[in-house]
Each structure stands twice: as C-alpha cells, then as structure tokens.
Amino acid sequence: MLGYLVDLMRLSRDGIRDNRLLWLLIAGFALFPIFTHFADLPFWNDVAMRIMLLGMAAMGLNLVLGYGGMVSFGHAAFIGIGAYCVGISQFYGITNGWAHLLFSLVACGAAGLVIGYLALRTSGIYFIMITLAFAQMLFFLFVSLETYGGDDGMSIDRAAFGVVDLYDPLRLYFLTWICLALVGLALMFIVRSRFGVTLRAIKSNESRVEAMGLVPLRFKITGYVISAVICGLAGALFASWQEYVSPDIMHWTRSGELMIIIILGGLATLAGPLLGAIVFLLLEEMLPWLLGVVAPAYAENWMILFGPILIMVVMFGRGGLVGLLDRWWAADKAGRSVR
C-alpha cells in the first residue's frame, strides 16, 4: 500500500502539482471550522459545506467530462436520485443514515448503468441531448410524485448514523469531509490506473483504442457509473444536511453549474472541480455583497459581473484555474533556477 502511494507521488510530469493542490484544499476544509469558530462566522460553515458537496459532485462528473471526454448534461439527475433515496427511505420509516447512503449509492449505480448503457451509444451533440432528456424525465417524474411532495418536495428528519450523532451540524460537516477525502483518494487512484489511462486514451482517440482490441463502450459505461455514484453520494449528503429534498435539486441548471465549475477549475484535473466550486460559490456569495457596497442600485444584478469573470477564466486560463496556477508555478520555478 505504501509502495502504491510512493509510486503515485513520483508519477507523471503533470500530476504532482495537481495532486498536492487537491490535498491542500481538502486539508483546508478540515481546518476551516476552527477558523469560523474563532472568527465567530458560523454561517461560513454552511458555505463550506455547500462547496464540498458541489465540489464532490463536480469531481464525479469530471471523471466522465474531463477524463473521459463525455459531455454529460444530466448529472444533476444523479444528485437528485441520491437525495430522494434519503427522503424516500425516511418516508418509509428507515432512519439509519448508513442505510440511506447505501440505498443512494446502489440506486445511482443502477441509474447510471441504464442511462449510460443507452446514452453512450451516441456521441457528440446527441449524447448531450440524451443525457439532458433523461435528467428532465426524472425531474418531471419527481415533480409528479405527489406522495413524495411533488413540486414542494419533502422534509426529512435528520438521520441517525449510529455512533456518529449528527445532531451537532459539525459532525455532518466532518462526515461530508471524510466522504470528500475518500472520493479524492479514489479518483487519484482511478485516473492513473490501467482503467483510467484507457478512459483517457478513449477520449484522445477512440478508434485507436478499438484497434488495440478493447471495447471502448465498456470503459465509458464503467466510468459513467462511477461518476453517477459519486454524484449520488453528494446528493444523499445534501439531503441529510438540508433535511429537505425537492425536484429543484435536480433542475437542469444544476447540471450546467457542475459543468461551469469543472471548466472554471480545470478539466481533467483532480483539484480543478474542487477549486472551481470554491471560486464559483465564493463569487456567488461575494459579488452581491461587493456590488452592494460599490453600487447598491445594481446589487441584484451581480450576474452581470459573474458572467464576464467566468468567460475570462475560460478564455485566458487554458486548463482553467489549475492550468493558470500550474503555469504560474512553472514560470516561478524557471525564474528561480535562472537566478
């Protein structure tokens, strides 16, 4: 096991800084509650929680979108399925939180398998449309299910996680943090494994992978299922945290949000989705406040600034924020070695 880790660390030329950044960010989330405690800013724990959950979902989508080159525009559906699995099992009197999580992961794996199996027969724009169609179908299914609250959604009693009593919101924070770290660890292994490099090879050139005697569809479906399960985990934690779930959680704009986060942070990087989620949600929090100070009349129109910032990062930061940092670090190093 230690040997594996050592191998991972002295890995490929591009991977080391990305790896470090990911663990730096994850470590930051572990220490953040200490900061909010002493700064007396408990509200920011909620922001951090949202960032971790959205970041986790984006990390899941990135396996498919970034590493696999499959532009899925329907991953909010898996967040929704994960969340509703918690709500529905509560509804039928199952109060054990571990059971909820298990139920969510299995349901999302199954949904990912079915949707992936059907949608991955297409590619390009058709794949985008089919994944969106499946997500919309599920969205309207939950809108129409009056038993589970329909449009209004359903409230959920806080689940019991056995010894981990979640009455204290910080405990749920740390359960989420552990899940985030596990997802990060799993993805770090997966993208460099034989499976992971084959998935990246398929993105690079599917017909060459076929000419090597492999069936690309199998790898793509497997990647799709893994990413669906990760999104489902984020959804389940989100529902437990909010103690509420409604179809809103799987609105198609959330699928778009996840894609923006990934592109902002850096496609096919480990740290990108998490960094993207941090910047995306911080901008969402800060811009209205900033405009409120500078030009109060426009405070509600903060999106006017938000859009151009996103466009600038995408246009000028090839490889997103991680790409920018990477080039900056590389230049810094080069400059120092010259001196």
Q: How many CA atoms lie within 13 A of 132 on its CB side?
A: 12
Question: Is residue 190 part of the contact set for other proteins (CB under 8 A)?
Answer: yes
Which residue's entry shows tokens 């490099």? 197
Report d(CA 203, CA 306) in Å as an integer. Answer: 31
**Dihedrals phi, psi of 168, to nearest 5 degrees:** -80, 120
* Contact indicator for 101, 233 with CB cutoff of 8 Å: yes
Residue 60 CB, nearest approach to other proteins (Å): 15
Is 335 an interacting residue with respect to other proteins (CB under 8 A)?
Answer: no
Under the binding rule (CB under 8 A), the answer on residue 209 touching other proteins is: yes
113 binds other proteins (CB under 8 A): no
10 binds other proteins (CB under 8 A): yes
If binding is defined by CB under 8 A, does position 11 make contact with other proteins?
yes
Segment interacting with other proteins, rule: CB under 8 A, options 86-94, 135-143, 196-204, 304-312: 196-204
CB nearer to other proteins: pick between 83 and 225: 225
- The stretch near other proteins (CB under 8 A) out of 46-54, 140-148, 162-170, 212-220 is 212-220
- Give the shortest CB-268-to-other proteins separation in angstroms: 9
Q: Please report how close the Cβ of residue 252 comes to other proteins at its closest, in angstroms.
A: 30
Task: Report how far apart, in Å, the C-alpha atoms of 337 and of each of 193, 303, 325, 334 are.
Answer: 33, 42, 18, 5
DSSP β-ladder status, 244-245 and 154-155? antiparallel
How many residues sit close enough to other proteins to count as binding (CB under 8 A)? 32
Instruction: Specify whether the CB–CB gap between 97 and 300 falls below 8 A.
Output: no
Count of Cβ atoms closer than 10 Å to residue 35 Cβ:
13
Give me the least distance between CB of 214 and other proteins, in Å please: 5
Q: Give me the sign of the Cα torsion angle 188, 321, 41, 50.
A: negative
Binding mask 137-176 for other proteins (x = CB under 8 A): ----------------------------------------
| Neighbour tally for 265: CB within 10 Å | 31
Q: How far apart are CA 214 and CA 216, in angstroms?
A: 6
Radius of gyration (Cα) for the chain, nearest Å?
20
Q: Which 215-244 residues touch other proteins, going by CB under 8 A?
A: 215, 218-219, 222
Judged by CB under 8 A, the stretch of 55-63, 148-156, 200-208, 323-331 that binds other proteins is 200-208
Q: Which residues bind other proteins (CB under 8 A)?
A: 4, 7-8, 10-12, 189-190, 192-198, 200-201, 203-205, 207-215, 218-219, 222
